[in-house]
Amino acid sequence: MKRQIGFIGLGIMGKPMARNLMKKGYSLKVYDIRNEPVEELVKEGAKRGYSPKDVASESEVVITMLPDSPQVKEVVLGKDGIIEGAKEGTILIDMSSIDPNVSKEIAEEVKKKGIIMFDAPVSGGEPKAIEGTLSIMVGGPEEKFEDIKEILTAMGSSVVYIGKVGSGNVVKLANQIIVALNIAAMSEAMVFAAKAGVDPEKVYQSIRGGLAGSAVLDAKFPMIVERNFKPGFRIELHIKDLKNALNMSHQVGVPLFLTTQVYEMMYLLKSKGKGGDDHGGLIKFYEELVGLEVKRQTY
């Protein structure tokens, strides 16, 4: 019999992830501070939760998918939090992208009540959350990993155990550095080519099969050329991830020169009201500098 799962956080990523668990036959009790996504999933067969404590009280496994460290701490350790409702032996899987040190801190607190915690952030954005093909990087007690792997594979096509609690989020930060720098490189190159009078779509078709090709290029350039900045992953959330990466880099003594530059570029766009755009909207930083838009050419 499949375990009873609680799911807290039904945003752009969380809602489709919860749906995929339901499609795989798991019974879910769901909660979000917004009523609308809860209503949607209740109509599809989920049970309504009234607080994190309420969700945890009826769940063997609780999954959280929240914006950042403060929200995770509040939901887990705050008033009416998971820690107040969970029983000894409950498994907590935090799939948010947060500071690895906060993952460790929360894990230590919930351990006092016999709750077992994993950090399991994801990569792939909204499209892969909908498809159930996310990449999931897992930190936590290795001896319990097999107990949750089947649950995670309902949401992802790649589930990799990394190491102790916090290591999942270290990998996610490394991932976010690479993605951010890829988007910046693509943006710089495409604006350069367009300003030089070359059709950016032809640039894309020419280079995508070579060494410059990447998953980022294939996912983001078609959106950019259509001027579609509907968020699969918002600039403001990528800023949060890069800030966490920079904070941790100072702790471990690794300079992140390029990450710092892209962080400031994204921060500038956020200050201009573009923080809610998809992170592919980073191209606007370069476009505004030279006064053009990379878009489909009409002949």
* Same domain, yes or no: 218 and 126: no
Is a pLDDT exceeding 60 seen at residue 76?
A: yes
Count the domains in the chain: 2
d(CA 135, CA 245): 19
What does the pLDDT average to over 72-99? 97
Both 186 and 284 in a single domain?
A: yes
DSSP string, 231-259: -SSBHHHHHHHHHHHHHHHHHHT---HHH
256 lies in the same domain as 155: no
Q: Please report whether residue 191 resides in a domain.
A: yes
Helix or strand (DSSP H, E) at 188 = helix 167-195
Does the global pTM surpass 0.85? Answer: yes
Regarding whether 138 and 21 lie in a shared domain, the answer is yes
Structural domain containing residue 25: 4-164
pLDDT on residue 146? 95
- Looking at the structure, tell me whether residues 139 and 179 fall in a common domain: no
Q: Tokens at residue 51, please?
A: 């607080």
**Among candidate residues 114, 140, 164, the one where a domain is terminated:** 164
Query: Contacts by 130-133 with C-beta closer than 8 Å and gap 24+?
Result: 130/16, 132/16, 132/20, 132/23, 132/156, 132/157, 133/157
pLDDT over 90 at 96, yes or no: yes
pLDDT score, position 297 = 81
Give the pLDDT band of residue 232 (cuts 50, 70, 90). Answer: confident
Band of pLDDT at residue 236, cut at 50, 70 and 90? very high
Could you report the per-residue pLDDT of 170-225, keeping only the tens digit for each? 999 999 999 999 999 999 999 999 999 999 999 999 999 999 999 999 999 999 99
In this structure, the answer to whether residues 41 and 115 fall within a common structural domain is: yes
- 272 & 216 share domain: yes
CATH at residue 216 = 1.10.1040.10
Cα separation, 47 vs 190, in Å, equals 47
Q: Clarify whether residues 114 and 188 are in a common domain.
A: no
Cβ atoms within 10 Å, residue 215: 11
CA distances from 71 to 58, 108, 135, 265, 280 (A): 21, 17, 23, 26, 25
- Residues 28, 146, single domain; the answer is yes
> 154 and 24 in contact (C-beta within 8 Å)?
yes
Q: Is residue 79 within 8 Å of 28, Cβ to Cβ? A: no
- Residue 299's pLDDT band (boundaries 50, 70, 90)? low
Calculate mean pLDDT across residues 216-237: 95
* Greater pLDDT, 297 or 178: 178
Answer yes or no: is 299 within a domain: no
pLDDT band at 103 (very low <50, low <70, confident <90, very high): very high
For the segment 237-257, the average pLDDT, to the nearest whole number, is 96
Mean pLDDT of the chain: 96
Q: Which residues are part of the catalytic machinery?
A: 172
Mean pLDDT in residue range 122-128: 92
Residues 98 and 179 in one domain: no
Domain assignment present for residue 22? The answer is yes
Tokens of 224: 């950019």
**Backbone angles phi and psi of 3, in degrees to 5:** -70, 150
Q: How many CB atoms lie within 10 A of CB 109?
A: 15
Residues above pLDDT 90, as percent of the chain: 96
Mean pLDDT confidence for 60-81: 97
What CATH number is attached to the domain comprising 112?
3.40.50.720
Q: Are residues 193 and 285 in the same domain?
A: yes
pLDDT tens sequence across 12-61: 999 999 999 999 999 999 999 999 999 999 999 999 999 999 999 999 99
Residues in the chain: 299
Q: Is residue 111 part of a domain?
A: yes
Is there a contact between 94 and 62 (Cβ–Cβ < 8 Å)? Answer: no
Q: What is the DSSP string of 36-105?
A: HHHHHHHHTTPEEPSSHHHHHHT-SEEEE--SSHHHHHHHHHSTT-HHHHPPTT-EEEE-S---HHHHHH
Q: What is the mean pLDDT of residues 262-272?
A: 98
- Count H helices and E strands in the chain, helices first: 14, 9
- Residue 256 pLDDT > 90: yes
In angstroms, rounded to a whole number, what is the distance separating the alpha carbons of residues 33 and 167? Answer: 28
Residue 211 and residue 139 in one domain: no
Looking at the domain assignment, is residue 200 inside a domain?
yes
Under the banding of pLDDT at 50, 70 and 90, the label for residue 102 is very high
User: Has residue 297 been placed in a domain?
Assistant: no
Given a cut of 90, is residue 166 above it in pLDDT? yes
Find all residues with CB under 8 Å of 25, minimum gap 6, and list them: 2
Boundary of a domain, candidates 126, 149, 164: 164
Tell me if 209 is assigned to some domain.
yes
In a domain, 295, yes or no: no
- Domain final residue, candidates 164, 189, 214: 164
Which residues face 8 on adjacent strands?
A: 31, 64
User: Given a cut of 80, is residue 1 above it in pLDDT?
Assistant: no
pLDDT at 245 over 90: yes
Question: What is the pLDDT at residue 206?
Answer: 98
